[in-house]
């Protein structure tokens, strides 16, 4: 036997309200018991320690990569890719990307473009007779 449409909708509404009240009561009960959350502080502290160690490692690796890219002026190569740096350094692309993202706080494309822009500024100041387009092309922009 089927219930009329209006009665079925009312029953569904009552069912949902009861479920919401039970869930709210359950959450209030958990929040009022602080011992439930005691282990979370230890977990958060361990997570922060792991994050600090990971960030230090990323910064160290980024510093090495940054020095190498600047020393070899790899950013001057148009269409430079992570794979190009990986093949020259022996690192994998995932580690290089992670180091630049975490240690350098920027993306690979933004990092390379920042180096290229700095090169354009230096060349524009020292070679005032050259066209800006030529300088940009010499700095690695395509």
Q: What is the mean pLDDT of residues 3-18?
A: 90
Quote the pLDDT of residue 53.
76
Q: What is the pLDDT of residues 93-116, one digit of tens each?
A: 999 999 999 999 999 999 999 999
Interval 49-88: pLDDT, tens: 777 778 889 899 999 999 999 999 999 999 999 999 999 8
For the segment 122-126, the average pLDDT, to the nearest whole number, is: 92
Q: What is the pTM of this model?
A: 0.64
Question: What are the φ/ψ torsions at residue 35 (nearest 5 degrees)?
Answer: -65, -20
pLDDT at 47 over 90: no
The contacts of residue 17 (CB under 8 Å, 6+ apart) are none
Which of 33, 28, 94 is closest to 61 using CA atoms? 94
pLDDT at 1: 61
Q: What pLDDT, in 10s, does the model give residues 26-42?
A: 888 877 777 766 677 77
How many alpha carbons lie under 13 Å from residue 6 in its C-beta half-sphere?
A: 0
């Amino acid at each position: 036997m089927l219930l009329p449409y209006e009665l079925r909708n009312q029953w569904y509404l009552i069912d949902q309200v009861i479920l919401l009240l039970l869930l709210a009561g359950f959450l209030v009960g958990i929040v009022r018991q602080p011992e439930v959350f005691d282990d979370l502080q230890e977990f958060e502290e361990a997570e922060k320690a792991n994050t600090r160690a990971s960030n230090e490692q990323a910064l160290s690796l980024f510093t090495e990569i940054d020095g190498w890219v600047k020393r070899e002026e790899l950013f001057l190569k148009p269409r430079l890719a992570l794979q190009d740096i990986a093949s020259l350094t022996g690192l994998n692309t995932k580690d290089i990307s992670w180091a630049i993202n975490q240690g350098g706080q920027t993306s690979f494309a933004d990092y390379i473009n920042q180096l290229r822009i700095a090169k354009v500024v230096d060349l524009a100041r020292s070679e005032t007779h050259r066209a800006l387009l030529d300088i940009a092309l010499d700095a690695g922009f395509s």
